[in-house]
Amino acid sequence: VNVKLVHKPAYHFQPKKHWINDPNGPMFYKGYYHLFYQYNPQGAVWGNIVWAHSVSKDLINWLALETAISPSKPFDKYGCWSGSATILPGNKPIILYTGIVSPEPESTQVQNYAVPANYSDPFLREWIKPDNNPLVTAHSENSSAFRDPTTAWFDGGHWKMLVGSRRKHRGMAYLYRSRDFMNWAKSPHPLHSKANTGMWECPDFYPVAQESTKGLDTSERGENIKHVLKVSLDETRYEYYTIGTYDRVKDRYVPDNTSVDGWAGLRYDYGNFYASKTFFDPLKNRRILWGWANESDTRDDDVKKGWAGVQLIPRTVLLDPSGRQLIQWPIEELEQLRGARVQMGKQKINEGDHVEVKGITAAQADVDATFSFESLDKAESFDPKWMNLDAQDVCNLMGSTVIGGLGPFGLLTLASEKLEEYTPVFFRIFKTQEKHKVLMCSDAKRSSLAKGLYMPSFAGYVDVDLTDNKISLRSLIDNSVVESFGARGKTCISSRVYPTLAISKNAHLFVFNNGTEPITVDSLDAWSMNPPSKMN
Ligand code: DQQ
C-alpha cells in the first residue's frame, strides 16, 4: 500500500501535490470553465499562497495551467489571498483579490485587481496586476480583518461588491460601489452584519429565482427573486447562509424571518466544507457552488502524504420551492465518470441487518438510494433536551449502532469486511410535539483505527414532510471523501476519513437498518467511479 496515495481522492479536484484551500474566481469564459484556488507551491501546509489555475470544458476533466497570480508587488508582497471574478461588459473578465501588504501577524489586507494579458486566449493563461493597485485599502475598518472581495454586480449605475470583515466580534460585509470599477467608495453602512459571529470570510451574495429552476446572473434584477448571503465563520470554520431581500437603493440586505441569522443558521454542508463560492454558468443557465474540504488527519500526515485539501464536487444551487432553504445537487457532468453499475432490487432490511452492495469499487463510488417505510408510527420521541444541542451532538449520542424505532438506516460507506471501520451515512426519524424531525448523520467516529485523527459525528436536520414515507440518499465516496446529499439535496454533509483496512479493493459498502421498523430499499443504484482523464 502506498501510504502517500491510498487516501488521495480519485475524482475530486486536486492538484498533483501540495496544499490547497479556497476555490477562487470561478467563471466561464469562451467555452472553458476556470477554477483558481489558494495554493502553496512549496509544501503540504498552508503558506506562500498564490492563485493556482486550471481550466475545463466540463468541470470534471481539468488542465492545470501556470500560476495566475502570485506575490510580486508592494500591494501583494506577503500573499495573494481569496477573491472573485466578474465579467465586465464586452465579455471582459476581471479578478478582485486580497493582497497582503505586511507580514504576519498583522497581515494587512488590501483589495487588488488583475486582468488578462490577452482576452483572445480562452485559457487566460497570463494575468496582469496593474500599477494603480490597490483599489481599496482599509480606513476605519480593521485592516487585519478585511478580505475576500465578492463577484461584483451592476445595478444600472454602479458596480457593487462586498468585502468580509468584523468590528470587534460583530461579523460584517462592507459594501463598496464604483462607476468605473477603479474608484471605489465605501457605502455608509455594511450590506449586512451580525453580532457575535466574528470575522466573516469569503462572503458570497447572489440572486436566486423563486419560480424557476434557472440560475441567475449575479447582476440579475426583477420580480420573483430572492437573495442569498453566505459567510464563512473564521472562529468555527463553518459557513452559514440566509435567504432574504436585497434593497438595492438602500443597499441593505434583510434575511427572511424563516432564515436563522447566526451560528445556528442553515449550512450548505454540515460537514467539512469551507470558503465556498458560487458563479453563474451562462452555458447551462445555472449557479454552481464550489467548496473546499481540508484534511482531518494530522499536519504530520499531510507532510508525509505531500498533499492536503480537496475541492468538493461542484453543485448546482437552487431555491427550494418552500423558499426556506436551498437545494444542492452534484453537477450532471459528474455522471460521465460512472463505470460499472449495480442495482439492488426492492429489498426489505430488518432490524440489525446489513446487506452488502457488491460488484463495484466501494472506495470510489456514486451511490443513489431511496428508502421507504410503512409508517411513521414507530419513530422514537425526540428528547426536548436535544432542542438545545447541535444536530452533531445528537448524532454523537444517538449513533448508528444505537437501536431506534424508525432508523437509524442508511449506508455504511468505506467499511472493512468485519466492520472494524466504517463511516455510516444515515437517517434517524423522531416524533416531536407537532410532527417529526429527521436527523441526517455522516459519522466518522468509527471511520479509522488510526490514532490522532479528527473523527466528528457530522449531522444536520432535513426539512421534509415524509408524507410519501420515502427518503433518498446519495453518497459520493472517494477514498477519503464521503460527500452525501439527503432528500435530493436538502441536507448535505461531507466527511474526510482515513481508514486503515477499508482501503482500495478492501473497502465495502453496505445498506443497514438499526431501527425496529423494517425499511425497504425501493431502489439503489451504485456505480464505480472512474478517474477523470486530463482535459482533451
Ligand atoms: N483563506 C484565505 C483568506 C480567506 C481564508 C487565505 C478562508 O483570504 O479568508 O488563504 O479560508
Distance, in Å, from the CA atom of 360 to the CA atom of 363, rounded to the nearest integer, reads 9
Question: Can you tell me which atom of ligand 1 is nearest the CA of 22?
Answer: 11
147 lines ligand 1 (CB under 6 A): yes
Number of C-alpha atoms within 13 angstroms, CB side, residue 203?
33
Ligand 1: does its nearest atom lie under 6 Å from the Cβ of 98? yes
**DSSP notation for 124-136:** ---EE--TT--SB
202 lines ligand 1 (CB under 6 A): yes
Residue 513 amino acid letter: N
CA–centroid distance, 299 to ligand 1, in Å, is: 18
**How far apart (Å, rounded) are the C-alpha atoms in residues 443 and 425?**
7
Question: Contact 422/502 with Cβ under 8 angstroms?
Answer: yes
The ligand 1 atom nearest the CA atom of 98: 8
- Atom index in ligand 1 nearest the CA of residue 164 equals 9
Amino acid 141: pLDDT: 83
Q: Is residue 266 within 8 Å of 11, Cβ to Cβ? A: no
Ligand 1 pocket member 22 (CB < 6 A):
yes
What pLDDT is recorded for position 535?
67
User: Distance between CA 485 and CA 370 in Å, rounded?
Assistant: 12
Q: 233 in ligand 1 pocket by Cβ < 6 Å? A: no
Q: Whose CA is nearest to atom 10 of ligand 1?
A: 81
Q: How far is the CA of 426 from the centre of ligand 1 (A)?
A: 32
In 200-337, beta strands by DSSP E: 200-209, 225-233, 238-247, 252-255, 274-281, 286-293, 307-308, 310-311, 315-319, 326-330
- Cis preceding linkage at 203, omega within 30: no
Its pTM stands at 0.97
Q: How far is the CA of 273 from the centre of ligand 1 (A)?
A: 13
Instruction: For residues 325 and 327, give the distance between their C-alpha atoms in angstroms, rounded to a whole number.
Output: 7
CA dihedral sign, ordered 43, 44, 49, 54:
positive
Ligand 1 neighbourhood includes 277 CB (under 6 angstroms):
no
Expressed in angstroms and rounded, the spacing between residue 342 Cα and the centre of ligand 1 is 41
Ligand 1 centroid to residue 218 C-alpha, Å: 22
pLDDT at residue 434, rounded to an integer: 83
CA-CA distance, 27 to 93, in Å (whole number)? 9
Nearest to 4 by CA among 297, 296, 300, 304: 304
**Residue to substitute in 19, 24, 37, 38 for testing ligand 1 pocket (most ligand atoms within 8 angstroms of CB):** 38
Q: pLDDT of the chain along its 536 residues, tens only? A: 677 899 999 999 999 999 999 999 999 999 999 999 999 999 999 999 999 999 999 999 999 999 999 999 999 999 999 999 999 999 999 999 999 999 999 999 999 999 999 999 999 999 999 999 999 999 888 999 999 999 999 998 999 999 999 999 999 999 999 999 999 999 999 999 999 999 999 999 999 999 999 999 999 998 999 999 999 999 999 999 999 999 999 999 999 999 999 999 999 999 999 999 999 999 999 999 999 999 999 999 999 999 999 999 999 999 999 999 999 999 999 999 999 999 998 999 999 999 999 999 999 999 999 999 999 999 999 999 999 999 999 999 999 999 999 999 999 999 999 999 999 999 999 999 888 999 999 999 999 999 999 999 999 999 999 999 999 999 999 999 999 999 999 999 999 999 999 999 999 999 999 999 999 999 999 999 999 997 64
Q: Is the CB of 234 under 6 A from ligand 1?
A: no
Atom of ligand 1 nearest to the CA of 83: 8
Q: Using the atom order of ligand 1, give the atom closest to the CA of residue 199.
A: 9
Cell of 105: 501577524
**What domains appear along the chain, each with residue ranges and CATH number?**
18-332 (2.115.10.20), 338-529 (2.60.120.560)
Ligand 1 atom with the shortest distance to the CA of 201:
9
Predicted pLDDT at 271 = 98
**CB-ligand 1 contact for 181 (6 Å cutoff):** no
Most informative mutation of 37, 80, 148, 237 for ligand 1 (most atoms within 8 A of CB): 148
* C-alpha 232 – ligand 1 centre gap (Å): 10
d(CA 179, CA 157): 7
Distance CA 437, CA 275 (A): 29
| ipTM reported for the complex, 2 dp | 0.99
**Catalytic site positions:** 22
Q: State which H helix or E strand residue 82 sits in.
A: strand 80-88
Protein residue closest via CA to atom 11 of ligand 1: 275
Instruction: Classify the phi-psi angles of 293: left when phi > 0, otherwise alpha if psi is within -120 to 50, otherwise beta.
Output: beta
Q: What is the distance between the alpha carbons of residues 214 and 496, in angstroms, rounded to a whole number?
A: 32
- Confirm or reject: Cβ of 276 under 6 Å from ligand 1: no
Q: Answer yes or no: is the C-beta of 199 below 6 A from any ligand 1 atom.
A: no
Classified as helix, coil or strand, 481 is: strand
Q: Is residue 49 lining ligand 1, measured as CB closer than 6 Å?
A: yes
SS3 call for 197: coil
What's the residue count for the chain?
Answer: 536
Are the beta carbons of 330 and 476 closer than 8 angstroms? yes
What pLDDT does 277 receive?
98
Taking the centre of ligand 1 as the mean of its atom positions, its distance from the CA of residue 369, in whole angstroms, is 36
Question: What DSSP assignment string belongs to 140-188?
Answer: SS-TTSEE-PPPPEE-SS-EEEEEEEEETTEEEEEEEEESSSSS-EE-S
Alpha-carbon span 173 to 182, nearest angstrom: 20
Radius of gyration of the chain, Cα coordinates, nearest whole angstrom: 23
Contacts of 451 (CB under 8 A, 6+ apart): none
Q: 372 CA to middle of ligand 1, Å? A: 42
β-pair type (481-486, 491-496): antiparallel
Cell of 363: 472506495
Q: Is the CB of 38 under 6 A from ligand 1?
A: yes
Residue 213: count other Cβ atoms within 10 Å of its Cβ: 12
